[in-house]
Amino acid sequence: MTHDDEPLEVERVDKLPLKDKRTGLTAAQTRIANQSSWVDQQIRVAMAKGEFDDLPGAGKPIEGLGRDHDPDWWLKKLVERENITVLPPSLQLRKDDAELEVRLDGLFNDTEVRREVEDFNARVIRARYSPQDGQPPLVTMPRDVDATVAAWRERRDERAAAARARREQQQAEAPPRRRWWRQRRRD
């Protein structure tokens, strides 16, 4: 082993972090002291590259700067940005009832449809027995599970028959395809 390959040994007498002899600071203290200048340097480089040009809201006043602090500001912004609507349970159930068949048509088997309708019925019954002070009246009724599943099957069969008819129509209108092994050779 040569002199360059020998591990550097540092003797620690007081078990404290090593300090730089010139500044008297530890490595962590030096890093913290220089961090703000490093951040400023990164910002100057980004500005020179034009990465801050045309940012949204550039040249506009900061929104809500003069108002009182609202602790739920982030929630209100989320609702506004994501276009979330929060309805009372009776109105939400009306909306769900109107969209139920479309949601059921996206399912693939009877078990899933039955589970979805039973879940809807359970929410309707739960809302019926919950107090509704100051809310619109609940007019949504539970659905008959077997009748809803039967109607779903009929719609599914109708969609399958329509798809088959479209496929057959397209095949009848299209010229017959020649298979590669039956193509004529051009000599």
User: Per-residue pLDDT tens for 51-76?
Assistant: 988 888 888 887 777 778 888 888 88
- Domain for residue 54, yes or no? no
In this structure, is residue 76 part of a structural domain?
no
Alpha carbon distance 98, 88 (integer Å):
16
Query: Residues 116-148: pLDDT tens digits?
Result: 999 999 999 999 888 878 888 889 999 999 999
Residue 185 inside a domain? The answer is no
Burial-class residue 88 by CB neighbours within 10 Å (0-12, 13-18, 19+): middle
Whether residue 123 is contained in a domain is answered as: yes
Residue 9 within a domain:
no
59 falls within a domain: no
Number of Cβ within a 10 Å radius of residue 78: 11
Query: Which residue type sits at 70?
Result: D
Tell me what pLDDT residue 4 has: 55
**Does residue 84 form part of some domain?**
no
Q: Please check the confidence at residue 97 and state whether its pLDDT lies above 60.
A: yes
**pLDDT of 183:** 63
Domain of 146, in residue numbers = 89-172
Residue 160 pLDDT > 90? yes
Is the model more confident about 104 or about 85? 104
Give residue 54's pLDDT.
Answer: 85
State pTM to two decimals. 0.51
Among 5-14, 39-48, 97-106, the range scoring the smallest mean pLDDT is: 5-14
Burial of 114-137, coded b for 16+ CB within 10 Å and e otherwise, reads bebbeebbebbeebeeeeeeeeee
pLDDT above 60 for 7:
no
26, β-bridge pairs: 19
Tell me what the mean pLDDT of segment 173-180 comes to: 75
Q: Please count the structural domains in the chain.
A: 1
The first and second tokens of residue 161, run together, are 């028959």
Whether residue 147 is contained in a domain is answered as yes
